[in-house]
Structure 1
Amino acid sequence: MCRAQSEYEDPAQPPCVLIINGSSRSEHTCPGEMSKSWRLTEIAAEICGVDGVKVEELNLSRLAAEYGRHIHPCKACFSTAPALCHWPCSCYPNYALGQTQDMMNDIYPLWVRAHGIMLITPVNWYHTSSPMKLMIDRLVCADGGKPDPTSTHGKDAKKAKQLDPDAAALSAPPRRPALRGGRVHGDVEGAESVRRSLVDWLRFMRLAPAGVPAELDRYIGYWQPYATSHDALDKDTAIQEEVRNAARTLLEAVQARRSGRLISAGEDLDQPRQK
């Protein structure tokens, strides 16, 4: 984690763009077919992969395709007392319950290192995919989690509640001028609401918007058979170009931020209400 933070802050290191595929489907599991989200991830990665820019791809379909791979659910420690929520999450591994091989140990450094983040997810029953939601919930510790668990003696709820009124007891990770793009595709309902929820979540996490073209929701093969959905994507050259434009917007914002040309008005204002 410290290495990722150091590389993020080092001006000699290339800017990093993290592109996340949230689909559970892949050719390595029982469907035997890649997802459209993965295809769109590759389109975005090709745009962002210019000289001088590092691109990281996070494929959450690995949860379904690799033995023992997990993102364990958030235990909502923050809802008991914020001081119980540690950065990075200290709830796992729990060897007594067999809750091991937690993929978040690999994911946290990717988010810390990234100067730009792009989320690509299908719409599953009006929501993001289950792997995407698992990751989102476990990132609560990045938004106010306490980096030192010793003051609460691990997970002592009574001790944590005593610390709760003291704002100094909570210390979020170093604030980073990260940027983001959000991209979702759906079946026939819910794409707009998923895009809005992702964008709202990222803004609440204090990530700066990359620009309007980076926020996109579209339907692929609207009310058409699932069996021909890849054909529908092949024919929909417009959405392919929209994804490229979303990636171009994110890339432009990352490069502008690194050169000091991008300013987000009001980002340095103190917030009167603490989370």
Structure 2
Amino acid sequence: MIRIRKGQSPAPVERAEFGARFRASFHDPAFRAEDPSIARLEEIAWQAFAEGRKAPFTQKAGPGYADPDYDLSTEWIATKQRIAEAQRRWAEPTGPSRVLLICGSARNDGTCPGEMSKTFRLLELCREELEGAGIQPDVLDLSLLTSEYGRKIHPCKGCVSTAMPLCHWPCSCYPNHALNQTNDWMAEIYERWAAAHAVLIVSPVYWYQSPSPLKLMIDRLVCADGGNPDPTSTSGKKAGRAKELEMAGWNYPQHLAGRVYGLVVHGDVAGIESSRRALSDWLDWMGFIDAGVQARLDRYIGYFEPYAISHDALDRDAAMQEEARNVARAVAKAVVELRSGRLQAARPHLSRPRPK
């Protein structure tokens, strides 16, 4: 039996600290008239936390699962059903072609920065090209994490590093109502990835890396590459059972493989090449198909110029704008080839000697 290593996690927070954290959401003096009501809600939340009521609503898994009598979260079941429907739409040969167009910047003009991002402007150029090619763009603006009330992508908890089967597809770590880890946007985002025939990511570079909203989404997509579609097979989050399953032989299913991708990465002083390569390598690993050399773009905008005039630099850089359009054109063409079967026919069908 594989030994499960313990000793990192501290003791659960005490009642007083829990109360302080709970009440922090009601800091505004306007709430003071409702302090007795807030205290009652706090006690309910404390009981849910103390009892570990992660999923208040469950139902029996039913046929098709390893343990039909296991109580699955109704929210997880609903997410899985929506993903299955999205996958059905993706496979429908006569349906419209869809490209998930992702804005990876954290900046928009609806909150502190006070100005839209250059990333979004480049994304709009890509959208125009896709629409002109008769493709439906689905814009996923990750900057909404910074500007919309209650919009969240919770961080990946790293279950995959304990054992791949412990990482469920879709993610079952959230929502966790006992820990107030709710309103997880990924439940919707998984569905949008599944429905898309291609993804086109437009992103700036922050400190040599992808911005945190984009990285949050990337980490949470680990379950799409090898994730376990049956949480009952691990009795939920039973680490020992998951280790046994992996050691018995796990096939690391690639749930989103076979889609096309394109990338537009921009920066101002450094890091564009490494950031673009990291994104390319990630999508290649997931089983995505790049749309060609012109679909993998990294460029500087206003190299070492002041941030204050960076939009002006983009205005002047007609070549950069046209290159971004070319990424969209390449993706659009690759989607046509993919859906006709010609793109897959030209690719070798080789088994992976070391899947993971």
Kindly state the Cα deviation for residue 166 of structure 1 after the two structures are TM-superposed. Answer: 2.2
Q: 2:297 aligned to 211, 216, 223, which one?
A: 216
Residue in structure 2 matched with residue 255 of structure 1 by the alignment: 336
- Give the structure with higher Rg (CA): 2
Q: 1:117 aligns to what SS in structure 2? A: strand
In 2, the alpha carbon distance for the partners of 1:243 and 1:253 equals 16
Q: Identity over the aligned pairs, expressed in percent?
A: 55
AA in 1 matched with 2:330: T
1:70-89 pair list within 5 angstroms = 70-89=152-171
Contact 1:147–1:173 (8 Å) recurs in 2:
no
**CA deviations over 1:157-204 (Å, ceiling 9, x no partner):** 011111111225x55254542000011111201001000110011001
1:97-116 pair list within 5 angstroms = 97-116=179-198
CA gap 1:45/1:232 in 2 versus in 1, 3 angstroms: same
Contact 1:118–1:181 (8 Å) recurs in 2:
yes
Q: 1:22 aligned to 77, 80, 104, which one?
A: 104
In 2, the alpha carbon distance for the partners of 1:40 and 1:133 equals 19
Residue in structure 1 matched with residue 74 of structure 2 by the alignment: none
Residue in structure 1 matched with residue 208 of structure 2 by the alignment: 126
**CA deviations over 1:124-146 (Å, ceiling 9, x no partner):** 00001000100000000000100
AA in 1 matched with 2:312: D
In 1, the alpha carbon distance for the partners of 2:338 and 2:186 equals 27
CA gap 1:154/1:3 in 2 versus in 1, 3 angstroms: same
In 1, the alpha carbon distance for the partners of 2:193 and 2:212 equals 19
Kindly state the Cα deviation for residue 86 of structure 1 after the two structures are TM-superposed. Answer: 0.2
In the alignment, is residue 68 of structure 1 matched against residue 150 of structure 2?
yes
Kindly state the Cα deviation for residue 3 of structure 1 after the two structures are TM-superposed. Answer: 1.2
What is the alpha-carbon root mean square deviation over aligned residues?
1.3
AA in 1 matched with 2:106: S
AA in 2 matched with 1:56: D
In 2, the alpha carbon distance for the partners of 1:270 and 1:203 equals 15
1:169-180 pair list within 5 angstroms = 170=251, 172=253, 174=255, 176-180=257-261
AA in 1 matched with 2:266: H
Number of residue-to-residue matches in the alignment: 274
Contact 2:224–2:255 (8 Å) recurs in 1:
no
Q: 1:231 aligned to 312, 322, 325, which one?
A: 312
TM-score where L is the length of structure 2: 0.75
Residue in structure 2 matched with residue 59 of structure 1 by the alignment: 141
Q: 2:275 aligned to 175, 194, 201, which one?
A: 194
Q: 1:146 aligned to 228, 232, 239, which one?
A: 228
In 2, the alpha carbon distance for the partners of 1:187 and 1:50 equals 30
Kindly state the Cα deviation for residue 53 of structure 1 after the two structures are TM-superposed. Answer: 1.8
In 1, the alpha carbon distance for the partners of 2:197 and 2:107 equals 27
Residue in structure 1 matched with residue 65 of structure 2 by the alignment: none
TM-score where L is the length of structure 1: 0.96
Q: 1:181 aligns to what SS in structure 2? A: strand
AA in 2 matched with 1:31: P
CA gap 1:13/1:176 in 2 versus in 1, 3 angstroms: farther
**CA deviations over 1:88-119 (Å, ceiling 9, x no partner):** 00000011111111110111011111111111
Contact 1:208–1:264 (8 Å) recurs in 2:
no
Kindly state the Cα deviation for residue 246 of structure 1 after the two structures are TM-superposed. Answer: 0.7
Residue in structure 2 matched with residue 38 of structure 1 by the alignment: 120
In 1, the alpha carbon distance for the partners of 2:235 and 2:339 equals 40
Kindly state the Cα deviation for residue 23 of structure 1 after the two structures are TM-superposed. Answer: 0.5
In 1, the alpha carbon distance for the partners of 2:242 and 2:344 equals 37
Contact 2:267–2:299 (8 Å) recurs in 1:
yes
In 1, the alpha carbon distance for the partners of 2:94 and 2:311 equals 41
Residue in structure 2 matched with residue 161 of structure 1 by the alignment: 243
**CA deviations over 1:186-231 (Å, ceiling 9, x no partner):** 1201001000110011001110111000000001010101000000
AA in 2 matched with 1:242: E
In the alignment, is residue 240 of structure 1 matched against residue 321 of structure 2?
yes
In 2, the alpha carbon distance for the partners of 1:220 and 1:264 equals 38
CA gap 1:133/1:267 in 2 versus in 1, 3 angstroms: farther
In 1, the alpha carbon distance for the partners of 2:262 and 2:355 equals 26
In 2, the alpha carbon distance for the partners of 1:267 and 1:3 equals 29
CA gap 1:127/1:51 in 2 versus in 1, 3 angstroms: closer
Structure with higher helix content: 2
Which structure is higher in RCO with an 8 Å CA cutoff and minimum separation 6? 1
Q: 2:247 aligns to what SS in structure 1? A: coil
